[in-house]
Amino acid sequence: MADTLLIIEDESLLGSELERHYRRGGWEVFRATTLAEAGQALTGEGLDPLVVLSDMSLPDGNALDLLERVRQIGVLGEWILLTGYGGVPDSVRALRLGAFDFLTKPCEQERLDMVVSGAARSARAQRRIQDETIARSQRYSPDSFVGRSPAAQRLRDMLRRLTQVPYSALILSGETGTGKGLAARILHHAGPCREGPLIEVNCAALPRDLLEAELFGHEAGAFTGAKGRRRGLLEQAHGGTLFLDEIGELAPDLQAKLLNALEERVIRRIGGEREIRVDICVLAASNRDLAQRVASGDFRADLYHRLSVFRLELPPLRARKGDLPDLVPTFIAEYNAKAGRRVELVPDAVWRRLEAYDWPGNVRELRNVVERCVLFAEGKVFPERWLQLSTPAGNEGTRPGVEGDRLCLPLDGTMRLEDMDRYIIQTALERHRHNVTAAARSLGTTRETLRYRIGKYGLGRPGEENRR
């Protein structure tokens, strides 16, 4: 498909010559002789030219007024302005409005062709970036967090709310593999910072000295091996989002330095003297309870409170097994497309095994299981033999269980305190048919406390959360 060129020129001879010249060059050319005609084509008829070549002064006004109007409504494309009496004010305004170039008539055709070619390359790059931004926004919308369980619905609703407000910081918590990275990308690409960059760093993956240089950057000669200047990740994230994964592993002195950067909105490169202003949104994720680490003195309380403008906890897959009918087909379709497979049918025996498994690796583990099974599938049926979900030998005695009116919980480190709490509450609810008052009485606690924990762990059932 030919690229589109809009020529706005009231001189009949010059306009016709330019139109013929660029048609011969393979352009699809539209020509207007007034600003009103050009404005109608751009805003009324949906003309989307790659390049606009316009005379500055036209019978019905200044082309800069039309340029300003179409920029305000988001019409892309590069503008090249021609004038017979160029002045400094007009040239300054043209550059401020984002015009590609400002040329004085008469302009040699060879020079004009070179400028038009450069404008076309720039416009194509802009459109490519815009298309990628739109594609990422569609891919990472709140609806990308798949699931029909009450826990998934609540989280999706919270993500949708957060994408509408300009928060400065947020903590994502949850076990490994629950989807904290997906939530961070949704918050960035669907939120107010989507026009800026998303910079991600895993604080547990780098040694302390290297992490400081990565976050804050350095000047040439700041330390051994620093041969040149480097912009830090905080600086690179300016205008966008910085995603700090596993922030609980950040060294105490770096915690203090990060807090100062977030409070003052300025950083200083290692070995540098100049302060650099940064405007960023910070998403901090951890699979460890940061509040507990604050209580134990392993994480700074002031940094925790600075980051916890909002706190979002992602539930483990074992607490939202009702989402398996949504997640499994989604992953099957993904790996069908990647591997050229055509798996369509999931046998009942497979569903039973998936629902009976506790998923210690959460959604990440489920994705890996589906990938393995799809890749090894020999037809349309999802193969049960490649699930590999059986309990490892020797671990049978480490699983929680119920013996009459007693609960048996392992104390060998295979079950966290939080998981024990969740299991106790879930068992009590099931034994009392989700009657919250009766379950609270059996656990020796108040109904309000139990309702809070039911919400925290996503254990309620649709229509049953308010049963007395």
As to burial, measured by CB atoms within 10 angstroms (0-12 exposed, 13-18 middle, 19+ buried), residue 280 is buried
CATH topology classification for 4-136: Rossmann fold (3.40.50)
Which of 133-147, 151-165, 202-216 is most confident? 151-165
CATH architecture, range 396-457? Orthogonal Bundle (1.10)
Cα four-point dihedral sign 97, 101, 105, 109: negative
CA-closest candidate to residue 172, choices 246, 236, 234: 246
- Reported as a pLDDT band with limits 50, 70 and 90, residue 294 is very high
Q: What is the pLDDT of residue 412?
A: 59
Mean pLDDT of the chain: 87
Report yes or no: 23 and 47 within 8 Å, Cβ to Cβ: no
Spatial distance between the Cα atoms of 197 and 267, rounded to a whole number of angstroms: 18
Helices (H), 218-323: 233-236, 252-264, 290-295, 301-307
Give me the pLDDT at residue 208, please.
85
Predicted pLDDT at 403? 66
Residues shown for the chain: 468
What is the CB neighbour count within 10 angstroms for residue 464? Answer: 13
Which of left, alpha, beta for 34 (phi over 0: left; psi -120 to 50: alpha)?
beta
pLDDT for 461 equals 61
Read off the pLDDT of residues 12-62 as tens digits, 9 standing for 90 and up: 898 899 999 999 988 999 999 999 999 998 888 888 899 999 998 888 888
Phi, psi of 12 (to 5 degrees): -60, -45
Flag whether pLDDT at 81 surpasses 50: yes
How many Å apart are CA 314 and CA 385, to the nearest integer?
Answer: 30
Contact between residue 33 and residue 14 where contact means Cβ atoms under 8 Å apart: no
| 386-396 average pLDDT score | 62
Q: Is the pLDDT of residue 1 over 80?
A: no
- The span from the CA of 450 to the CA of 460, in Å, is 11
CB environment 428-438: b (16+ within 10 A), e (fewer): bbeebebbbeb
User: Could you tell me the maximum CA-CA distance found in the chain, to the nearest angstrom?
Assistant: 98
Pick the CATH number of 317-386 from 1.10.8.60, 3.30.460.80, 3.30.1490.100, 3.40.50.300: 1.10.8.60
> Residue 368 is encoded by which pair of tokens?
């890996």
The first and second tokens of residue 154, run together, are: 């609540």
pLDDT at 393 over 50: no
The percent of residues above 90 in pLDDT, for the chain, comes to 53
Comparing 131 with 10, the larger pLDDT belongs to: 10
Residue 463 has pLDDT above 70, yes or no: no
**Cα gap 235→278, rounded to integer Å:** 6
State residue 104 phi and psi, 5-degree precision: -100, 135
- Identify the band that residue 146 occupies on the pLDDT scale cut at 50, 70 and 90: very high
How large is the average pLDDT for residues 356-363?
A: 91
Residue in 71, 200, 187 with CA at minimum distance from that of residue 136: 187
- Give mean pLDDT, residues 225-252: 91
Residue 467 has pLDDT above 60, yes or no: no
Domain-by-domain residue ranges, the chain?
4-136, 141-313, 317-386, 396-457
Question: Quick check: helix, strand or coil at residue 391?
Answer: coil
> Mean pLDDT lowest for which of 311-320, 328-337, 383-392?
383-392
The single residue listed with the structure tokens 């040699």 is: 108
Rounded distance between C-alpha atoms, residue 346 and residue 202, angstroms: 36
- Supply the pLDDT for residue 86: 60
- CATH code that applies to domain 141-313: 3.40.50.300
> Looking at residues 398-413, what average pLDDT do you find?
70
Distances (CA, A) of 400 to 218, 261, 298, 408: 52, 46, 30, 5
Nearest to 52 by CA among 71, 254, 156, 436: 71
Query: For residue 460, is pLDDT > 90?
Result: no
Mean pLDDT to the nearest integer, 136-164? 90
Write out the DSSP string of 4-41. EEEEE---HHHHHHHHHHHHHTT-EEEEESSHHHHHII
400 has a pLDDT exceeding 80? no
Is 0.85 surpassed by the pTM of this model? Answer: no
Phi, psi of 55 (to 5 degrees): -70, 145
pLDDT at position 394, please?
43
| Local structure of 247: helix, strand or coil | helix
Q: Quick check: 392 pLDDT over 70? A: no
Mean pLDDT of 247-265: 93
